[in-house]
Structure 1
């Protein structure tokens, strides 16, 4: 297949390009600036701006893709508002470009911690948390906008990734969460998270090329409270032991159920317990 990959130079994109090429796909990778790295991995790199609707439409039309894969983020500076803009305006432009080019299928990155509060890890039919407080609501609304736009194509898969860790993410040595841990600003709370290594996230994106339409939680098998995972992460990045905070978890911090992904034949290659040792 011919695949247009938006976000080819990102943490997942850098793993996804060689995986797609190895399967015989022709990959056109969208980047913000010229990228010899993307070309070296076997893709055709094209420079474009997702906020330039007309320019993006032309780039997608010229690529003639069978599938668009959306792995766009804007997290380098830790700016959640900028990332929400990618999910809203950037996704809108990418979907419009795909529709104008006659693309039938899209695979898009979403998140697995936008669900409403509940007692158990959330499955895909759990409503998203549109009743969230102000600090969280912008993130949830960005996801709602992204997923609604993606669903305009005839065939679509939304990959609701757990918290990404590994090279190129916030969860590696020297990155944002490691710096917080070093500064004693990453307490171990009761909040539950589901994690996925970037290698496993990329493998799910490859598999999703043939998955049925719908949303899929992509995370490992072990949702974990901060009481469990934060000390392991701190040790992995050489940070001091965290402050232990006793109390109830936030209602939405419930983790995610990956049962649908496993039924589709995907499974995580590693759990956070093993994966943190590699950061």
Structure 2
């Protein structure tokens, strides 16, 4: 408790504190200033505006100067700082709070300056990460796609969960390096079900040698402030190189802009040049840079 109290006092002295339900409107307003950059945190803030922080499984930290909220950080399964230009001192306060609790997150993710700046302050005391992805172009599109949407891409149905889950697990394993599967009602499995139920899961099926199989899939992992962030884009290995990703993403963009959010965003590893080229052909443009520290 002494260490927690000392670090909390340190954070408070530098303008940082744990936020409460009464602070949520101000936090949402701050995120609205940076809608693409903040969508991961804003998505969580929107959820707790409806249900309250006490049931969220996470915390929201804030940084204030002169009584005004200048930056926030969602602290849950991921640590997601939102630090507008000029508020970089917030990283000292957020690092103090993170040091006090010890590492509970599986990643630090967000705009590259904030994510890497927070990690620089935590690296002397936290364990070595598995990987640091320091350059992840953040892309967005706010107009109709430039390629013809795949007419066979549609929203997933609840009855298709057993077909979609293996594709989701394979995508995650390829991207992160380990399987997220944890049982029938595990957190990852529950997340996949929830995205399908919320009409945030998109899929294209083909008939393969073993029956119906997923050819393309993607999800809207975060939606807030007029922005929908696409995550989990995946094409079956045997079908790669045939343009399914471009037409599939065009379909996701068109459907999302029609009834979810006018701006569609995503971020991608800089070394994934084929994916970047595909997204640019669809009409995405780079609007910033994300970074992810994976533990």
TM-score tier (shorter) = 0.3 to 0.5
Q: TM-score, normalised by structure 1?
A: 0.32
Structure with bigger strand share is: 2
Q: Which has the higher contact order (CA 8 A, sep 6+)?
A: 2
Which has more radius of gyration? 2
